[in-house]
Structure 1
Amino acid sequence: MSDYIRKAKFPAILLVLYVLVPLAHAAPGQDTKPNIVLVLMDNFGYGEIGVYGGGVLRGAATPNIDGIAAEGFQLTNYNVEAECTPSRAALMTGRYGIRTRQRPDGPPRGIWYGITQWEITLAEMLSDNGYATGIFGKWHLGDTDGRLPTEQGFDEWYGIKHSSDRAFWPDSYSFAPDSHPDAVFDYVMTGFRGQKPTEIAVYDRAKRTMIDREITDAAIDFIQRKSRENQPFFAYLPYTQTHEPVEAHPDYRGKTGNGSFADVLAQTDAYVGELLDTIDELGLKEDTIFIFTSDNGREGVPRSFGFTGPWRGSMFSPYEGSLRVPFLIRWPEKIPAGQVSNEVVHQIDLFPTLANIVGIDLPNDRIMDGADQSNFLMGKSEKSARESVIIYIGNELFGVKWRNWKMLIKEIDENSYAINRLAYPSFYNLLVDPKEEVPELNYLNDTWVDFPLYQVIEDHEASIAGDSGAPDP
């Protein structure tokens, strides 16, 4: 029995139908299960690419990425979790990161644990409905047996288990190999479903400059193979840039003359262009959903040169510079071109949205936090299917957004990361005060917003309290 059907406890009749009804892949242009390419940047701020105010302003034009917006839908209020692992957990499961960390008994798991085997990933859902699934890049959702990507729904994987800060370690003269059992070098891995992944090379500073090139090549090869096999595919590219160290491939080092970040921005745009060209050359453009987004805002360390556009803060904060990132989606003839919206959307919405587009029922044995945004994205509704999002940093509830209002019950010191617990919440009207500079600005005229904001928090807390948790391991 497939993992998705087993985990979701589907009725037996659905299993019979699943086995007996073949999954057809029609010729381009016909109604069929669309291919899906999901590009996820790492610590990539809202203001990096041209259509979000960056591009040439940041030292490197981004015409290929900007072209996704011209041919599709650009969101200006796309929300994510504040840290890498919780964000990826939310994206892969359609559930808030805090919910994936709930235990059946006891306190929630730590934020870097990742997801348990019990979770149903986007890859599992698609794989069990006829898709070929490949991940090319950073996983960061589990490094123990049973929790690697090829054990969580992906057919094949090329990339790293952890994060790029480990690329510093092999070149560090102060690294202590006997400090802790978990303090080990990361490796570039390759693997296939049902096989033990293989370590290819130590992920050091030299390999760090090469890996996004290799990720792109592996993804293109996967797309070409699955196109020849006439099978719908899900290609997930969680790039390693622009996480520190931000160092370009030798082909792009010094290319812009505007520093390493601009070089990497130019490199990324070129790689995305290659992916788009591959889709177009294979005649799959009308049958492929192509998404470009990020896991969270720019790096929080002072040495990082990321750009959050008009928003305050960086990752690891409850401010918009942490929570709002680019989101572009293209699906010709299905998603109208040239749309821009400031409606509230969250990364957890991607799971139910793609499930509906593909024609898959959601799991009914767990709480799903995501909302189906297919009507909104395809121009059938001007309104998002959600009005609110919950804000966490780690396992701490910080606040809530509802429409254009935001309430923070905690804030964070942006220099020390100390949590400031507020005697009275801060309120921001994000249209009037987008940089969150003046709490309570206009609030006295609009104290009615207390009711919907607090209601969202109360409903969420009640939902978490009643959640049965995600079983180990």
Structure 2
Amino acid sequence: MCVAVGSVALLAACDDGGSRRVANAAPAESGKPNILFVMMDDVGIDQMTSFGYGGVNPPKMPNMDAVAQSGIRFRNTWAQPECSPARASFFVGRYPTRTHIYQALGPNDLANAQLSPYETAIPKLLRKAGYESAMFGKFHLAGPENNQADITTPALFGWDYFYGWIGGLPESVDLQAGGVVPGGTSNQCGFVPGVTAVDGAATGACHFPDNSCTQMIKNAPEQDVAGLQCLAAGGILVPGASCADPKPAGLDFSRYNGYYVSPLVILEQGQAEKVLPRDPRARGYRTTIETDAAIDWINSRTPGKPWMATVSYTSAHTPWQQPPGALMPGLVGGGADEYVNAEIFNNLTCTSDGTPPAMLRMQELQNRMTQALDTEFGRLLVETGIATWNPDGSLNYEPEASNTLIVIIGDNGSLGIAVKAPFDPTRAKGTAYQTGVWVPLIVAGRGVAEPDRDVEHMVNGVDLFELFGELAGIDVRQELPVSRPVDSVGIQAYLKNPAQPALRQTNFAISGLNQQADGGRNGPCVVPTVGGGGTCMQIATSKSVCGDNSGFWWGEGHEDLAPWDGDNAIDSYDTCAQVNQVRYGNNNAAQMYTIMPDQSVAVRETRYKLVRNTFKRFDPAKGIHDEVEYEFYEVDQAKGTPLLDENGMSKINLDGTPMPGWTLADDLAYKDLKDRLDRLMLSAVVCEGDGNIDGVVNQADLDNWNRIHSSWGKSSVYDFAGATPGSLPDGYTNGPDQDVVSLQLGKTCVYPPSVY
């Protein structure tokens, strides 16, 4: 397999897909298209020049731009504000109010907050139409923690093959670079940096887990520093050493390292293999691993049998870490200044203190990871025969030459520190503001009428569920149980008819807290902001994830580093409100942190948008208390200068009373959207006892409880209560849960319809 992508000559050399193009161009025996579904992580619409944005320093994405120019750009698409709820909505066509996945899954989230094994995901539906389905990269929908299926969860939802990471997130960057760098020494991003940085090296011995060794040296401007060369190859660099020297005793090939070393799972027909860090398959740049696995599977398909391949890229999620330089267009093959620039950024640190220079460095890292994703996406298309390289190294994508329909989407808005102007970094990922939910959606392929056009009508990520069904010739509403309605709208009509009127009149997004044992929640994490202070959020699923986002952790394992906190007896905190209470109590002059909402909900129609945020806050006069705030905006998707829901632009006060200039049109729209929001929130029904979500509590539920209780006994969708009556789920499937089912036997559940 050709993986070289660093220059025009090498790009051309990788075009070995002539026979593959013929095979891929052939229509399936059923006439159904193949589906290539590509998800980008934390890449909001603010990053995309093809959609009219990107700011002054956008990531270079020529391959996705080429596909966007040959297809349809849906310029008014919302996803959910965080990855797990958004991804679940793509595959089951239901909002978080129905799946009960409200934020990114973490190790403490119960099975009740994971995708239910009784949901009908799109791979199960496509199987009925003869499709094979595979996923590569980040799963992050269910398990492995608090789930009886452990690392086999993709099989529950119909995937025939999976190659990637069940939990999804990369591990933290190894600051000791495999044990080479002593603890406490300044190290750059998981590898020994170049000679311009502290502890750097121009050359070294690159050792591998199989005891082999290769001498690494940076002897040309376009090359990565020796440490990054070695890391990308799967090794650990001993700086300044020769392979003839004795191998140091401290090298540790079991250490995780961001995007370069982490255990993965290979799952085929329900049989799972866990690949540990010493295995070469678990070592190398993650975006390349994801791409290689997808290429291998697609090229091994039986000609004429339709398939759906989901390439769920982890990039550009934190922790941010330099990709191999060969994957970054504009650096390799560029001028001398770009080589110098590359050397500087090979010596970056991978954390930020919130100062403008540090934030710019982090933005550059994120840009490079996004650019590397785009490079590997182009290779994916070429090596599977969906596209070719032009002589100048650009992508030659001809939709009619392949029987594969391409769907590309961002899973949520960009992380605040990476947001491009004029979008708002304080209202980004994790919130229901425009910067947090507005994502790029591209659809291209054979049968798309009048390509290179924009669709300005509202689309929601849930609509992909119905689109995939339409492409396969399946009426998803006929195939699903009638008890629980879906929230998706079929959007295939936009592909066929450029004049298609709007199919959706309402858009909706929500973020919140996931179900944890006994009402627990993620610990508080404070991310620094420019100018001092910080924002306290409860999105980070652990102390390490908080650190990966340049945050300071206040949850379990909190370290008393601040003078005003050193004498406090409490060493961990449950809520951001408690953190502010401690700050205020120990130093009245201390600035309290801004708190992100526990729940952020938004609903939109063509012109107006309503946002409702719910907080747990501390106030010296009120103590810790709950607050609900409403905001009401005019928004649009104008290219370059969109009308956003920015601070100070709301047409109402936080208590819902009108601001000066309130018009009759404002009043009617506000009341209408508030009604839509209330009706959408009513769909958050939990029908106790109905663990298999078929709409009725019956003997099947008792049988399911008994099976899970006997074989597992821990967290499951049949964990309805704790040890005492009326208590919250406790992470066990036991007697109190059987009592709930027994008491509800014969009950029929009523699930409110959606609002489109």
TM-score (norm 2): 0.51
Whole-angstrom distance in 1 between the partners of 2:672 and 2:404 = 38
Which of the numbers 261, 264, 267 marks the counterpart of 1:188?
264
Structure 2 residue aligned with 1:348, among 443, 458, 462?
A: 462
Shift of 1:169: 7.2
Give the superposition deviation at 1:26. Answer: 9.9
CA distance in 2, matches of 1:252, 1:92: 30
Higher relative contact order (CA 8 A, sep 6+): 1
- Judged with a 3 Å threshold, the aligned counterparts in structure 2 of structure 1 residues 422 and 136 are, in CA distance, closer, same or farther, namely same
Query: In the alignment, which residue of structure 1 is the partner of 2:386?
Result: 280
Q: Alpha-carbon deviation of 1:58?
A: 3.0
Q: Which residue of 2 aligns with 1:270?
A: 375
Tell me the amino acid that sits aligned with residue 410 of structure 1.
N
Q: How far off is 1:88 after superposition?
A: 1.1
| 1:124 maps onto 2:344 in alignment | no
User: 206-215 or 41-50: which moved more?
Assistant: 206-215
**Range 366-375 or range 451-460, more displaced:** 451-460
2:406 aligns to what? Answer: 290
Q: Secondary structure at the match of 1:463?
A: coil
Q: Distance in 2 between matches of 1:213 and 1:409?
A: 40
* Matching of residue 376 in structure 1 with residue 494 in structure 2: yes
Distance in 2 separating the partners of 1:420 and 1:292? 39
CA distance in 2 between partners of 1:371 and 1:186 (Å): 38
Contact conserved, 1:119 with 1:470, CA < 8 A, in 2? no
- Is the 8 Å Cα contact of residues 25 and 403 (structure 2) preserved in structure 1? no
Residue matched to 2:423:
310
**Alpha-carbon spacing, 1:123–1:30, altered in 2? closer, same or farther (3 Å):** closer
1:401 is matched with which residue? 604
Q: Are positions 1:235 and 2:351 aligned together?
A: no
Distance 1:127 1:311, change over 3 A: farther
CA contact (8 A) 1:389 1:401 kept: yes
Q: Does 1:66 align with 2:59?
A: no
Letter in 1 for 2:94: R
Q: Cα gap change, 1:76/1:380 in structure 2, threshold over 3 Å: closer, same or farther?
A: closer
Q: Where do residues 21-60 of structure 1 align in structure 2 (5 Å cutoff)?
A: 27-28=26-27, 32-53=31-52, 57-58=56-57, 60=59
| Whole-angstrom CA distance in 1 between matches of 2:367 and 2:422 | 15
Q: Distance in 1 between matches of 2:497 and 2:674?
A: 31
Once the two structures are overlaid, the 10-residue window that deviates more, 32-41 or 374-383, is 374-383
Equivalence for 1:115: 115
Partner amino acid for 1:287? Answer: N
> How far apart, in 1, do the equivalents of 2:505 and 2:111 lie?
26
**Counterpart position of 1:139:** 139
Conserved in 2, the CA contact under 8 Å of 1:405 and 1:428?
yes
Distance of aligned partners of 1:50 and 1:208 in 2 relative to their CA distance in 1, 3 Å threshold = farther
Superposed displacement of residue 54, structure 1: 5.3
Residue 221 (str. 1) matches residue 296 (str. 2): yes
CA distance in 2, matches of 1:81, 1:188: 26
Does the Cα contact within 8 Å between 1:297 and 1:324 map onto a contact in 2? yes
With over 3 angstroms needed to count, the CA separation of the structure-2 counterparts of 1:75 and 1:285, relative to structure 1, is: same
Of the two, which has the highest radius of gyration? 2
> Which residue number in structure 1 is paired with residue 510 of structure 2?
392
Q: 1:368 to 1:307 in 2, by over 3 A?
A: same
Tell me, yes or no, if the aligned pair for 2:28 and 2:303 is still in contact at 8 Å. Answer: no
Tell me the SS of whatever aligns to 2:439.
coil
Work out which of the residue numbers 616, 624, 627 in structure 2 matches 1:421: 627
Is 1:162 aligned to 2:167, yes or no?
yes
Q: 1:123 to 1:31 in 2, by over 3 A?
A: closer
Q: Which whole-Å CA distance do the structure 1 matches of 2:424 and 2:456 have between them?
A: 14
Kept after mapping to 2: 8 A contact 1:81/1:392:
yes
Q: Give the alignment of 1:89-108 within 5 angstroms.
A: 89-101=88-100
Residues 125 and 335 from structure 1, CA distance in 2 versus in 1: closer, same or farther, beyond 3 angstroms?
farther
Cα pair 1:367 1:467 within 8 Å, conserved: no
Aligned to 2:201: none
- CA gap of 1:317–1:208, structure 2 versus 1, over 3 A, is farther
How far apart in 2 are the matches of 1:50 and 1:135? 28
Say which SS state the counterpart of residue 448 (structure 1) adopts.
helix
What does residue 457 of structure 1 align with? 677
What's the offset of the Cα at 1:64? 0.9
Residue 340 of structure 1: SS of its match in structure 2?
A: strand
**Partner-residue secondary structure (3-state), 2:133:** strand
Structure 1: distance between partners of 2:378 and 2:176 = 32
Q: Kindly, what percent of the aligned residue pairs are identical?
A: 22
* Cα offsets for 1:59-93 (capped at 9, x unmatched): 54211101111111101211011111111111111
Report the alpha carbon displacement of residue 244 of structure 1 after superposing the two structures with TM. Answer: 0.7
Counterpart of 1:376 in 2: which secondary structure? helix
Change in 2 beyond 3 A, CA 1:110/1:308: farther
In structure 1, C-alpha distance between the alignment counterparts of 2:55 and 2:434, rounded to whole Å: 23
Q: Show structure 2 runs of 5+ residues with no match.
A: 1-23, 102-108, 178-182, 185-260, 333-337, 343-363, 389-398, 514-598, 617-623, 637-641, 652-658, 693-715, 718-756
Matched residue type, 1:126: L
Query: Matches of 1:315 and 1:347 in 2, distance apart?
Result: 15
Cα shift at 1:190: 1.0
- Amino acid in the other structure paired with 1:50: T
Write the distance in 2 (CA, Å) between the matches of 1:92 and 1:275: 22
Aligned counterpart, 1:22: none
> Which residue of 263, 273, 286 corresponds with 1:211?
286
Partner-residue secondary structure (3-state), 1:92: helix
1:454, CA displacement in angstroms?
Answer: 2.1
Q: Which amino acid aligns with 2:289?
A: E
Unaligned runs of 5+ in 1: 1-24, 103-108, 175-184
Question: Match for 1:333 among 417, 439, 447?
Answer: 447
Q: State the partner residue of 1:430.
A: 635
Aligned residue identity for 1:46? I
> What SS class does the counterpart of residue 371 from structure 2 fall into?
helix
Residues 420 and 237 from structure 1, CA distance in 2 versus in 1: closer, same or farther, beyond 3 angstroms?
A: farther
Corresponding letter in the other structure for 1:223: I
1:331-365 Cα offsets, whole Å, 9 max, x none, are: 23334301112211000001112212321132133
Per the alignment, in what secondary structure is the counterpart of residue 166 of structure 1? Answer: coil
Aligned to 1:13: none
Kept after mapping to 1: 8 A contact 2:466/2:490: yes
1 CA distance for matches of 2:56 and 2:465? Answer: 33
For 1:171 and 1:149, how far apart are their aligned partners in 2? 34
Separation of aligned partners in 2, 1:112 and 1:271 = 36
CA distance in 2, matches of 1:68, 1:216: 17
